[in-house]
Every structure is written in structure tokens, then in C-alpha cells.
Amino acid sequence: GPEGGFSDEELQAAADRGFIPFALGNRVLRAETAPVALLAALWAWLERSP
């Protein structure tokens, strides 16, 4: 999202269009590192033991 976060109106507009929000926690990631962090979290989640 944008550096200052999304406004309430922007969040509502996205929700009205079917957007399902998610977060990686309270950390703010740079555009260069966000994809790497997301992939690492996804791989860790997919490979965890049942």
C-alpha cells in the first residue's frame, strides 16, 4: 500500500470490489523487499508440518 497507508474510503472501495485484505504483521516493508518477505512467509507456511 501507499507509504501513509490507505484511507478509510480507499479500504471501503476495495472491499466493495471484492478485495480481501491481509497483512504480514505490523512491519512496513520496502517495495524491494516486500515480495521476498511474502514468498518466504508463504513457503514457510506451505512447508510446515501438520
- In the prediction, which pLDDT does 34 show? 84
Question: Which of 5, 8, 48, 45 lies closest to 37, judged by CA?
Answer: 45
**CA pair distance 34, 14, nearest whole angstrom:** 20
- In the prediction, which pLDDT does 17 show? 97
The pLDDT confidence band at residue 50, using thresholds 50, 70 and 90, is: low
The pLDDT confidence band at residue 48, using thresholds 50, 70 and 90, is: confident
**Does position 49 have pLDDT exceeding 70, yes or no?**
no
Q: What is the pLDDT of residues 5-30, one digit of tens each?
A: 788 999 999 999 999 887 767 777 78
**Burial class of 42 by CB neighbour count within 10 A (0 to 12, 13 to 18, 19+):** exposed
